[in-house]
Structure 1
Amino acid sequence: MFLAWNEIKYSKTRFALIIGVMFLVSYLVYFLTGLAYGLSQDNRTSVDKWEADAIVLTDDSNANINMSMMPLKVKDDITADDVAVLGQAPNVIRKEGETSEEAKINVTFFGINPDEFIMPEVTEGEKFTEDYEVVADSSLQEEKNINIGDELKLAGSDITVEVVGFTEEAKFNVAPVLYTTISTYQDVRFETIDDSEEGRISALVLRNDSIDSIKSENDDLVVYSIKDYISEIPGYTAQLLTFGLMIGFLIVIAAIVIGIFMYVLTVQKSSMFGVMKAQGIPTKYIGSYVIMQTLLLAVIGTFTGLVSTLVTAYFLPAVVPFKNNGLFLLIITLLIILFAVSGAFFSVRTVIKIDPLDAID
C-alpha cells in the first residue's frame, strides 16, 4: 500500500488520467442506473402502494388492465381475505381556464371505494368524499403547479374534477394517478353507467395469505400475483432488460479499460520491477503492489463518480424520472471495483514473467 500510494502521488498526471476514466465510466453507470430505476418506479409506484398480493382481470385482457372490463357485481364471485374494486382509465386533463398545448397532462384515473385498503394515504388536503373530487399524485403539484381546489377539465368531455388532496408516489405507466369514486370513474370512461350491472370496473385487487387459496366462481376471471402483473405492464420488462444490459456492459468495459491502463503501466515499469527482483524483493510483494495500486485507483475513481451522481440528482428537475437506490449503488460500486481489480491480474502475470537480467539489460 505504501509503495502504491507514493507512486500515485509522484506521477499525479499519469494516474489522474486513469482516475478520470474510472470517474467518467462509474458516473455514467450510476446515472443510467438512477434513470432506469426512476423510470421503472414510475411504471409501478401506484401498484406498490396497494400492498396487495394479487389482482383479478378478465381472461380476454391478457393481463392488460386497460383491456379488462367486468361488472361490479363479480366482486361476490371472489373469495379472499380482502377485496377492493378498481376502475382504471387513462385520460388527458388541463387546468380549468388554460388552453395551451403545454397545459395538457396525461393522467390515469383510478376509481376506488375510499373505505377499501387501496385508498392511498393523503399527505396534503383530504380524501375525496363526493363524486368529481380527486386525490392526485404530488408530481402534479411539483411539476404542473396544480394545487388543492383547482378544477381540472377532461379532454373531449364536459366533465371537470376538483383536486381535494395529494398523495406521494402514485404513478402508473409513468402517468400521475388521480384517485376518485367509482361512479366518477365510470363517467370518465363510459360517460354513462349501466344500471343493469350496477356499473363496470377494470379489476379486483386482493389481499390474501396464500394466492393459491384464492377462489373464483367465474371462469372468465384470472388471478395474477402482483409480481406477475407488474412484469406484464406494457414496456416495463423490456425497459429493465435494456437498461440492465447497458449497465452490465459498461461495468465490463470499465474493467477492461482499467486493466489495459494497468497493463501498459506494468510493461513500462518492467525494468524497475526487474531491478526490484534482482534486489531480492519477492514477486508476490510486487504483484500485491500492482493489485493495491489498481484498488486505490478504482476506489478513488468510483467514489468520485458516486459523489458526483448524488450531487447531480440533487439539482435535477422534478420532471426527470431519476431515483437512487442504496442497494443498487452498493452493488454497482462493489462490481466496478471487483472487476477492475480482476483486470489487474493480467498485469500481475506480466510481473511474474519478468526476468531480472533481461529487464536490467
Structure 2
Amino acid sequence: MFLALLELRAARGRFLLMGSVVVLVAALVGIVSGFTTGLGDDTISALRRLPASQFVFSSDARSDQFARSLLDERTAAAWRKDADTDMTPLGVSITRGTTNRGAEVDLAAFGVEPESFLSPSVTQGDDLADASADSIVMSAGLADEGVRVGDTLVIDRLGIKLHVIGLTERSGYGHVPAAYVPLRTWQRIRFSAPGSQASAATEIPDQFSALALRTPAKVSTADLDERHSTTTLTKEKAYEAAPGYTGERVTMNSIQVFLYLIAPLVVGAFFAVWTVQRQPELALLRALGASRRRLLAHTVLQAALVVVLGTVAGAVLAGAVGLLVGEQVPFSLPATTLAVTMCTVAAVGLAGTALTLRRVTAADPLTMLGANR
C-alpha cells in the first residue's frame, strides 16, 4: 500500500489527468441519469400519481392510447358488471388557455368524476368534490407559470371558462403541467368545435379516454377485452401511451449505456500504458520476493483510489449541476439514483483494470537479474 501511494504521489500529474477523465465521465453519467429521470417525471408523473392499477382502452388504439382511445358509458357499464372491481372513467387531453391576468399556459386536462378515487387531493384551496362543473384544480407546475387559485382560465379557441379552485402537487403529462376538471367539462374541451360554444348535453358525446381500475379485475382481462373490444394495460405499461415517453427513455438509456462502455475502456487503456511503463519496477519487485498477489493488490489499489475518488467528485459535480439548473429544466437526481449510478460507474471503471492484470502477473524477475544480456 505504501508503494502504491508513493507511485501515486510521484506520478501525480498522470493520475490527476486520469482522475479528471473519470470525474467527467461520472459527472456526465450522473447528469444524463438526472435528465432521464426528470424527463420521465415530466412526461408521466401525473399518470404515476393516479391511484389505479390498470387502464382499459378501446381496442382500435394501439399506440398513444390516451389521445386515440375513446370509450362510452355502455362499455363502462359492461365492464363494471363483468370485472367486479372499482373503476371510473378518465379523460386525458392536452390543451391551452389564458387566465384573466394574461398568463398563457399549456395544460394536460385530466377529466375525472369529482367523487371518484381519481379526484386529486389539494394542498391549497378546494377540491372537485362539491365544486361546480366549471371548476379546475391545477398542479404546482401551472402555479410556476403564473396561474393562481381564484383565477379564471379560458380555453383557447373554445371560450370555455374555468375557475381555478385548488392547487395540488406537482405533476405533468407529456411535458405539460396537469390540471383536473370534472369529466363532463373535459368532454366539452375534448369534443367541442372551435367557436361553437357548445354547452348543451346533447351536443357533447358521453365518451372518455379510458377506464381506470383501482384494483385488478377478478376475472381474466384477456376474456373481458375480447368480449368488449378493449385493451387492458397495467399502469406501468400504460406509461408508454404518454407522448414521447418511450422514445425519450430509449434515447437517454442508450447514451448511458455507451458511457458505461466508455468508462472501462478509458480506465483500462490508461492502466495498460501505466503497467507497460512500470514493467522494470514490477520485475524488480518480483526479484526482491514480492508475490504476484501482492503486485495485483498494488495495482488494484491504485485503480480503486483513482476511480473511486474520481467517481465521488463526479457525483458532487452532477449534484451541483442539478442544483444549478433547479426547476428550469426537467432534471431530477434523487440520492438513491445518484448512488446507484455512481456505484455502476465505479464498478465498470474497475472492471477496465482487469485488462492490465495479466501484464502485472507476467512481470519476469529474470529481467532484473540480467537474463536478457
TM-score where L is the length of structure 1: 0.91
Partner of 1:117: 117
Partner of 2:156: 155
> Aligned-pair distance for 1:222?
2.5
Q: Show the 5 A alignment for 1:71-220.
A: 71-78=72-79, 79-98=83-102, 103-128=103-128, 129-142=131-144, 144-191=145-192, 192=198, 194-195=201-202, 199-210=206-217, 212-213=219-220, 215=224, 219-220=228-229
Q: Could you say what secondary structure the match of 1:177 adopts?
A: strand
Partner of 1:235: 244
> Aligned-pair distance for 1:97?
4.3
> Aligned-pair distance for 1:38?
1.0
> Aligned-pair distance for 1:257?
0.4
Aligned length: 356
Distance, in Å, in 1 between the alignment partners of 2:121 and 2:140 is 12
CA offsets 1:170-193 (integer angstroms, 9 cap, x no match): 211111111011221122122335
Distance, in Å, in 2 between the alignment partners of 1:359 and 1:36 is 53
2:25–2:259 Cα contact (<8 Å) kept: yes
Percent identity over the alignment? 26
2:121–2:168 Cα contact (<8 Å) kept: yes
Q: Could you say what secondary structure the match of 1:163 adopts?
A: strand
Amino acid in structure 2 at the alignment position of 1:287: L
Q: Which stretch has the larger CA shift, 294-303 or 331-340? A: 331-340
Amino acid in structure 2 at the alignment position of 1:256: L
> Aligned-pair distance for 1:290?
0.4
> Aligned-pair distance for 1:162?
2.1
CA offsets 1:147-183 (integer angstroms, 9 cap, x no match): 2112222211222222221212321111111101122
1:25–1:250 Cα contact (<8 Å) kept: yes
> Aligned-pair distance for 1:275?
1.4
Q: Which stretch has the larger CA shift, 254-263 or 118-127? A: 118-127
Q: Could you say what secondary structure the match of 2:272 adopts?
A: helix
Q: Which stretch has the larger CA shift, 286-295 or 190-199? A: 190-199
> Aligned-pair distance for 1:49?
1.2
Amino acid in structure 2 at the alignment position of 1:139: G
Amino acid in structure 2 at the alignment position of 1:263: A
Distance, in Å, in 2 between the alignment partners of 1:216 and 1:339 is 45
Q: Could you say what secondary structure the match of 1:162 adopts?
A: strand
Distance, in Å, in 2 between the alignment partners of 1:359 and 1:333 is 41
1:270–1:359 Cα contact (<8 Å) kept: no
TM-score where L is the length of structure 2: 0.88
> Aligned-pair distance for 1:116?
0.7
Distance, in Å, in 2 between the alignment partners of 1:21 and 1:148 is 49
CA offsets 1:63-110 (integer angstroms, 9 cap, x no match): 511112222343211134211111222111223242xxxx53321111
Amino acid in structure 2 at the alignment position of 1:159: I
2:122–2:166 Cα contact (<8 Å) kept: yes
Q: Could you say what secondary structure the match of 1:263 adopts?
A: helix
CA 1:197–1:96: 2 relative to 1, 3 Å? closer
Partner of 2:195: none
Q: Could you say what secondary structure the match of 1:166 adopts?
A: strand
CA 1:9–1:51: 2 relative to 1, 3 Å? farther
2:93–2:190 Cα contact (<8 Å) kept: yes
Q: 1:301 aligns with which of 289, 300, 310?
A: 310
Q: Which stretch has the larger CA shift, 292-301 or 199-208? A: 199-208
> Aligned-pair distance for 1:134?
0.9
Amino acid in structure 1 at the alignment position of 2:161: T
2:96–2:155 Cα contact (<8 Å) kept: yes
Distance, in Å, in 1 between the alignment partners of 2:100 and 2:247 is 37
Partner of 1:251: 260
Amino acid in structure 1 at the alignment position of 2:6: N
1:111–1:183 Cα contact (<8 Å) kept: yes
Q: Does 1:32 align with 2:37?
A: no
Partner of 1:60: 60
> Aligned-pair distance for 1:198?
7.2
Q: Which stretch has the larger CA shift, 326-335 or 163-172? A: 326-335
Q: Could you say what secondary structure the match of 1:312 adopts?
A: helix
1:271–1:360 Cα contact (<8 Å) kept: no
Amino acid in structure 2 at the alignment position of 1:206: L
Q: Does 1:352 align with 2:348?
A: no
> Aligned-pair distance for 1:306?
0.7
CA offsets 1:210-234 (integer angstroms, 9 cap, x no match): 5644546962333222222223333
Q: Does 1:16 align with 2:46?
A: no
Q: Which stretch has the larger CA shift, 216-225 or 226-235? A: 216-225
